[in-house]
Structure 1
């Protein structure tokens, strides 16, 4: 059974139709990449799925439950987490503290518990610290737990943001251009991390322009053009699709996907 489905998604901004009748289905452990030229509607679709935009029509279901128009906070509690194209990091906090902020979904005590140092708060904070340290190790940043985020490399910050998203223990992880701005080594680290997350059973949806990364890690690809679905299918199908090549990939990029 699909864990995440979108059907008939359309949205208009004034007189402009940004998306029209777009849909997809995602199973646990799948990696779905959404690609297309600039202005194709990729980020708009992402923002609808993650609760930032309200679609004009269509529906989204998470594990069979209609989540259309749910807030991002509600979606986090239901098991969906996302990152953003531009880093959303607390630069004056340590790497560990950044990841611990992602544990809010699981924290039951509030400000009074912290103020009066109640035993339940101690246990909660200790558990959040334990889980966050394990996530830093998972993304290859265990040695930088106490490093201020502002002193970390760009590639490390990309992985840190993924660690924080994983701290909510999502069933669906949305990644908005996770390799944007990364060099070849950093991209390879992101590549391995995404595959590792998918192997754990988490469904992954990403918007990405790095075609080598997309072709390597995707189980399914959705291609958008001018707000509509141009093609969808497995990487080998998309790589050789003539309309995709003409509209987006180009012959050279299609050949690179075979490398």
Structure 2
């Protein structure tokens, strides 16, 4: 049984089919990328899977449990977290505080205990701070822990958002254009981090326009065009599909696939 399964998912806006009858599955430790031209429905698909949009058709299951249309916060408690194309960072909070926010999802304690600063509350706070520092070290931001998040570079903010998503202890992580706007060095850091997370057993669903990164990282690729799935398979197979080349990738895709095996 797949960890995440999408079956016949679809949604329309004002009579326009934004996504229609899309199906695929994702297993633990696997990286699946969703690609396609602008307007293909990639982020809309993410929004349905992560509970931002309620689909008109189809279903989403997480570890066998149907979670179609479930609120994002409830999905997070079940192990599905995401990042956004447009950064969702608390700019005026510290880098460390941004990650600590992710740990609050699984904290167990009363409001009264927190208000009174009881021992249990203090222990939870210390544990969250320690966990947050470990994640910052993992994403290469430990030296920036006390800095205001808004002072970081764009690439560093991308890694910070991933760190906060990891703080929720996901089993499935949706990454919406994690390398967008990053330079070559920052993209390489994102690449390393995604591989490391997947090797830890987390299933990763990725939307990304950097085709070299997609071809290098992905176990499987799902291709959308005008809201419909036109191809699915491993990078080499997808890059040689005539429908994919016509819709999006172009002839350079075959060169990328040859270069990476």
TM range (shorter): over 0.9
Q: CA-to-partner distance for each residue in 1:13-47, whole Å, 9 max, x for gaps?
A: 12111111101100000001000011111011000
Q: Is the 8 A contact 2:236 2:254 kept in 1?
A: no
**Displacement of 1:257:** 4.1
2:134 match? 134
RMSD (CA atoms): 1.0
- Give distance in 2, aligned partners of 1:252 and 1:27: 29
Unaligned runs of 5+ in 2: none
2:5 match? 5
**Displacement of 1:191:** 0.4
- Give distance in 2, aligned partners of 1:183 and 1:30: 25
Q: Is the 8 A contact 1:211 1:257 kept in 2?
A: no
Check if 1:149 corresponds to 2:149.
yes
- Give distance in 2, aligned partners of 1:225 and 1:148: 40
TM-score by length of 2: 0.97
Q: Which runs of 4+ in 1 moved over 4 A?
A: none
Residues 1-259 of structure 1: pairs in structure 2 closer than 5 A: 1-259=1-259
- Give distance in 2, aligned partners of 1:55 and 1:152: 36
Deviates more, 1:240-249 or 1:159-168: 240-249
- Give distance in 1, aligned partners of 2:86 and 2:68: 25
The alignment partner of 1:193 has SS state of helix
Unaligned runs of 5+ in 1: none
The alignment partner of 2:18 has SS state of strand
